[in-house]
Amino acid sequence: MTTTVALLTSGGLAPGLSSTVASLVEHWVLHDPDTRLIGYRHGWAGVLRGESVWFGPEIRRHLHDLHEVGGTPLGSSRVRLTNDEDCLRRGLVPEGRTALEMAARQLAIDGVTVLHPIGGDDTAANAVRLAEHCRAIGQPLTVLGLPKTIDNDIEPITRSIGAASAADAGARFARNVMAEHSSSPRTIVVHEVMGRSCGWLTARTAMRHLDWVEQLARIPTLLEPEAWGIHALLVPELEVSIETVAAQVEPVWSTRGSVNLFVSEGAGAAMVLEERRRAGETIAVDPFGHPRLDQVRVGDWIARELGLLLAADRTLVVKSGYFARSGPAEPEDRVLINRCATVAVRAAIDGQSGIVGGDTAADDRLGVIALDRIRGGRRLDVTAAWVQDLLGRVHHVHPVS
């Protein structure tokens, strides 16, 4: 009997989604060319709508091209399978039916017995609920997820797909935009990096940027590497007041006339949210209840308040998020993707469900991690050696409290 395997990508973009789709299909074809492979369009929304694409011979011949592009060839969406009200409002389920019921029904119609959801902790949560529902109704389903998120905040995954590539891309972005410090005297440049509650991406991006800065030649009066550096690093794990930031960058400000900040989009978000709510503003939330950080605009708030404290002539907020998350996988991620796809296909053949990744509780060994162990919201370990080294390289840092 021919096995039908389905793939989907869900949630925000991350580098390597296209490569992950290609790798999974390639490994299944190597195992058995007769495997029927489909991809659901736009994540869980495609499952609920019954919209899929068949990975037939023509597509299989050109899969290698997917390794060179960013985004996802299948499309994505943010759908919570336990939020029936939202699914009904969006026309994803009919009145009186649950999303879990409709998702399981579509998998049965398509003959899917193996599902590869590629996404973050919210995608894993959907997979857990769907697997439980299918088990309860006696419907066979093996779920082998692959973890992707640029935040690298999935517990207990050592490194999620796309995180390293996003940091490298964000650092390349910073090389250009940090030049803005030279366009006008008394300028504050705020580089806002994606990261809701975890500062890993901001820290890793900052590390990569400083690696480049420290290679710059010094030309007296013309090129000072320090001017391209990072003078304050703000992450959710090291919350400080804006007055403290101003005091710490003031020596650089008074001598150089410009400062550069790397800021996680979630750093100080709670404070900014509360201020805007007191002002009567309403901040939209996504289907999972997360405030829309693009509406919170932490970087804008920091630039405005710091600009007032330092009497800046110009403040500039630049966001690397979409640039960083939308590119192809870098070599480090390409290796990780291939290893994860290999393990995922082997485990699926054995009927084992879970999420494939390095396990922090098992010396970071790559394997299949039980679905019920997957949690989001992991924080950056600010006591880690590489983070402490980074803080020492930043001109003015917020010490570990």
Q: List the CATH number of the domain containing 99.
A: 3.40.50.450
Which is more confident, 285 or 118? 118
Backbone φ and ψ of 365, nearest 5°: -70, 140
Among residues 62, 104, 345, 314, which one has the least CA distance to residue 188? 314
Residue 182 lies in a domain: yes
pLDDT in tens, 304-350: 999 999 999 999 999 999 999 999 999 999 999 999 999 999 999 99
Q: Would you mind telling me the total number of residues written for the chain in this entry? A: 401
Instruction: Report CA torsion sign: 190, 193, 199, 200.
Output: negative
Residue 294: active-site member: no
Asked if residue 187 and residue 151 are part of one domain, the reply reads no
Helix (H), strand (E) at residue 189? strand 187-193
pLDDT given at position 286: 72
Residue 348 lies in a domain: yes
Statement: residue 139 has pLDDT above 90 = yes
pLDDT in tens, 217-255: 999 989 999 999 999 999 999 988 899 999 999 999 999
Rounded to whole angstroms, how far apart are CA atoms 363 and 22?
28
Asked if residue 113 and residue 85 are part of one domain, the reply reads yes
Q: What is the pTM of this model?
A: 0.92
Rounded to whole angstroms, how far apart are CA atoms 291 and 284?
6
| Domain boundaries, position 200 | 164-325+383-393
pLDDT-based confidence at 290, cuts 50/70/90? confident
Task: Give the mean pLDDT of the chain.
Answer: 93
Rounded to whole angstroms, how far apart are CA atoms 266 and 306?
17
Asked if residue 139 and residue 16 are part of one domain, the reply reads yes
Asked if residue 193 and residue 102 are part of one domain, the reply reads no
pLDDT-based confidence at 291, cuts 50/70/90? confident
The residue type at 344: A
pLDDT-based confidence at 400, cuts 50/70/90? very low
Asked if residue 98 and residue 230 are part of one domain, the reply reads no
Asked if residue 211 and residue 134 are part of one domain, the reply reads no
Asked if residue 127 and residue 20 are part of one domain, the reply reads yes
Q: Which listed residue (84, 121, 151, 359) is catalytic?
A: 151
Asked if residue 186 and residue 155 are part of one domain, the reply reads no
Q: Are 126 and 98 in contact (CB under 8 A)?
A: no
Residue 377 lies in a domain: no
Q: What CATH number does the domain containing 314 carry?
A: 3.40.50.460
Asked if residue 152 and residue 195 are part of one domain, the reply reads no
Domain count, the chain: 2
